[in-house]
């Protein structure tokens, strides 16, 4: 097993948690092979897995967000020109975990600050749609190729 497979299966996929929940249910006398027992095992496993992943992601994203206030984003985007400005804007939109309700005021502030409309649109499109949280969750659920 390669390192990436171990990270994907055991760390992000939490297969160990599924086995632990299955062992606990079997110890309680629940048949985890049947429909009802399998459903209970899946529900418990998925609920705990998603809760843990979301807590870790929210903490990480909040930490990253503390380094990217709107003023700093304006300064970063003001340094680039042409295609590189669009790329930088899209990447900045990816690492700044703003939802659409905060991306639109940022978009208005960027256009008011004199940044080109194409650059601000790159930020506006990538900010609420592509973020680190979604990327990690997609990787843990569907694998790296789909993500």
* CA 73 to mean position of chain CA atoms: 20
Q: What is the pTM of this model?
A: 0.50
Residue 77's pLDDT is 72
As a dihedral over the C-alpha atoms of residue 15, residue 19, residue 22, residue 27, rounded to 10 degrees, the angle is: -160
Residue 30 or 68, more confident: 30
Domain residue ranges in the chain:
3-63, 67-133
Model confidence at 11: pLDDT above 80: no
78-137: per-residue pLDDT in tens? Answer: 777 788 888 887 877 776 666 666 677 777 777 777 777 888 888 888 776 666 666 777
Model confidence at 22: pLDDT above 70: yes
Q: For the chain, what is the HEC assignment? A: CCHHHHHHHHHHCCHHHHHHHHHHHHHCCCCCCCHHHHHHHHHHHHHHHHHHHHHHHHHHHHHHHCCCCHHHHHHHHHCCCHHHHHHHHHHHHHHCCCCHHHHHHHHHHHHHCCCCHHHHHHHHHHHHHCCHHHHHHHHHHHCCCCC
62-78: per-residue pLDDT in tens? Answer: 676 677 666 676 777 77
Residue 126 or 42, more confident: 42
Residue 43's pLDDT is 92
1 — pLDDT class (breaks 50, 70, 90):
low
């Amino acid at each position: 097993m390669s390192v990436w497979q171990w990270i994907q299966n055991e760390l992000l996929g939490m297969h160990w948690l599924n086995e632990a929940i299955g062992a606990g249910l079997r110890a309680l006398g629940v048949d985890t092979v049947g429909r009802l027992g399998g459903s209970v095992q899946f529900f418990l496993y998925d609920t705990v897995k998603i809760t843990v992943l979301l807590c870790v992601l929210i903490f990480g994203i909040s930490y990253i967000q503390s380094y990217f206030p709107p003023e700093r984003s304006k300064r970063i985007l003001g340094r680039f020109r042409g295609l590189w400005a669009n790329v930088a804007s899209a990447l900045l939109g990816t690492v700044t975990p703003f939802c659409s309700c905060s991306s639109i005021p940022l978009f208005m502030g960027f256009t008011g600050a004199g940044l080109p409309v194409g650059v601000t649109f790159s930020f506006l499109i990538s900010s609420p749609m592509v973020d680190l949280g979604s990327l990690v969750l997609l990787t843990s659920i569907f694998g790296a190729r789909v993500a």
